[in-house]
Structure 1
């Protein structure tokens, strides 16, 4: 068997009850012992919640809106995915260790699996949450094209896995609630994908304030323009088209698919929606977290 192929479509493996890629679990000691630096900025999200979008915005902020500088490399090199380790292909820990400060560090881990150095050094953290309906749909299409995931099966089968947390990085419900509950204790900004879609300039201003950065109005407008979905979809350094096809097959589904809120209505049947909503109410009961399922 081709050595490139035998690392893909494997079943997930649990770490403390959280399903992760087998290759992350094999190198878990590297992930767990990752040494964060005090001036790191952690970007944390559940998958398919605007991770690449917020990463591009922050790289533009860190480079004062210099668009050419932000095309220096692919987004996954500029903002390494810390826990992603795939034999012969990538090691986020090593990539970050080789980077100069200040670093942007991407993570999908639930809050309880975050390496202890992030809490010890009290670095700033930005979390982005997106409504569960749209995440489930986007994740289903991502599973199809990104071959590190197990086979997603049918939409119905995948939706069941999503609702029970049997997908990579575990339960969406626990993930968004876990990070939400930590936001008061640490230097953390909690943003919502739907707010970013509705008023991106306002959310960029929130980021600037949180980071104690002051940029001229024209630079903010430039960041706004170059981090728009249409511009990023055309930008090879942001749209993941530089990833080899044996890892991500854009002919199955583009990495940047639609980038809208409310697309779940085109996927869910009435029965699926009713079942999903009933389950959602149970799992989110008692939480102060509020989401917009469309804008």
Structure 2
């Protein structure tokens, strides 16, 4: 069903924001540094949320996606502990079914709502050529750009949905529908480091420049899903809603047992001491890093990951920004952070 046909058939709302192409010179520089996108980028609405140009055709479909009362969503800015939280949430909601979790990739258990936006046709064609002698791999590549909002609409099971979209671009009734939403925030310095490595790892992103340039894009809101601060502030403003659990990644790292208790209570589940110990061990970074189900081996096997780059699951710690920030960049980042939280009650658990 074509996007407009879908909207008309469901009596859905018109997307409320303007979508504008990024200025040509900036677009040209971005295409040079991010080889995963081959056409261009757009900025959305007054906050200028940044996406590949494919967003233009799917904006209304994501905005009008039909939310179900028993859905469980995880909403984050990228690299904020999303995968770690997904595994925790899915296991708690599914009565600690480790067998099913091990046998089924997290990609299948907890689908990524807008992933297809980041699969350019040229990248898909290149991956098809690389995998043409393997029927199973070819089938996976063929499905990479299938809109997940369509697949999720067909699902008969309880849905677990991951997204990096800000709340203003998601269905307006997300929190009033009765479903449960977990938002995880992480300090921007660590986000920027982790995002840099992810963008170098994934061919769908294809970042090829250095961290300094990547930080400039991040700071200027010229990177996918940015602006970081607008994304964060939208969630912060509604953090006390009964259907939203707002967590800080730093707090989760400091006390994972407390995070497990909060998630369990939020989902109406209980975890005893023995189960707590086992889940804590399962989520320990040493074990998590070696868990094929959450490391997206499915994507690695078809060539989406760039060889020689850091793995999808990296260090899983706070303070990794110190690897890349010299004194000058650190001072610049701190000034940027202070400017953006000035006049607010925002306070990160640990930002230095």
**Counterpart of 1:35?**
66
1:26 offset after TM fit, Å?
2.8
C-alpha distance in 2 between matches for 1:33 and 1:279? 34
Alignment match of 1:208 (pick from 248, 261, 264): 264
C-alpha distance in 2 between matches for 1:138 and 1:194? 14
C-alpha distance in 2 between matches for 1:187 and 1:152? 40
Secondary structure of the 1:272 match is helix
Moved more, 280-289 or 248-257: 248-257
CA contact (8 A) 2:295 2:312 kept: yes
C-alpha distance in 2 between matches for 1:118 and 1:294? 30
1:230 offset after TM fit, Å?
1.6
1:114 offset after TM fit, Å?
1.2
**Counterpart of 2:42?**
13
In the alignment, is residue 80 of structure 1 matched against residue 111 of structure 2?
yes
In the alignment, is residue 56 of structure 1 matched against residue 87 of structure 2?
yes
**Counterpart of 1:182?**
238
**Counterpart of 2:222?**
166
**Counterpart of 1:109?**
165
Secondary structure of the 2:222 match is coil
CA contact (8 A) 1:9 1:147 kept: no
C-alpha distance in 2 between matches for 1:57 and 1:182? 23
1:106 offset after TM fit, Å?
0.7
RMSD, matched Cα: 1.9
CA contact (8 A) 1:82 1:106 kept: yes
C-alpha distance in 1 between matches for 2:351 and 2:336? 19
CA contact (8 A) 2:61 2:149 kept: yes
Question: Structure 1 pair 212/119, CA: closer, same or farther in 2 (3 Å)?
Answer: closer
In the alignment, is residue 146 of structure 1 matched against residue 174 of structure 2?
no
Question: Structure 1 pair 223/21, CA: closer, same or farther in 2 (3 Å)?
Answer: farther
Question: Structure 1 pair 198/145, CA: closer, same or farther in 2 (3 Å)?
Answer: same
1:42 offset after TM fit, Å?
1.3
C-alpha distance in 1 between matches for 2:271 and 2:49? 40
CA contact (8 A) 1:65 1:222 kept: no
1:253 offset after TM fit, Å?
1.8
Over 6 Å off, 4+ runs: none
1:150 offset after TM fit, Å?
5.4
C-alpha distance in 1 between matches for 2:61 and 2:203? 23
**Counterpart of 1:248?**
305
Listed one character per residue, the Cα deviations across residues 16-44 of structure 1 (whole Å, up to 9, x for unaligned) are 22111333333223212211101111111
**Counterpart of 1:267?**
324
C-alpha distance in 1 between matches for 2:236 and 2:256? 21
**Counterpart of 1:236?**
292
**Counterpart of 1:4?**
none
Moved more, 239-248 or 53-62: 239-248
Structure 1 portions without partners, runs of 5+? 1-6
CA contact (8 A) 1:34 1:93 kept: yes
Alignment match of 1:71 (pick from 84, 89, 102): 102
The alignment's TM-score, normalised by the length of structure 2, stands at 0.77
Structure 1 or 2, whichever has the larger Rg, is: 2
1:99 offset after TM fit, Å?
2.8
Question: Structure 1 pair 118/258, CA: closer, same or farther in 2 (3 Å)?
Answer: same
CA contact (8 A) 1:37 1:121 kept: yes
1:249 offset after TM fit, Å?
2.3
In the alignment, is residue 280 of structure 1 matched against residue 337 of structure 2?
yes
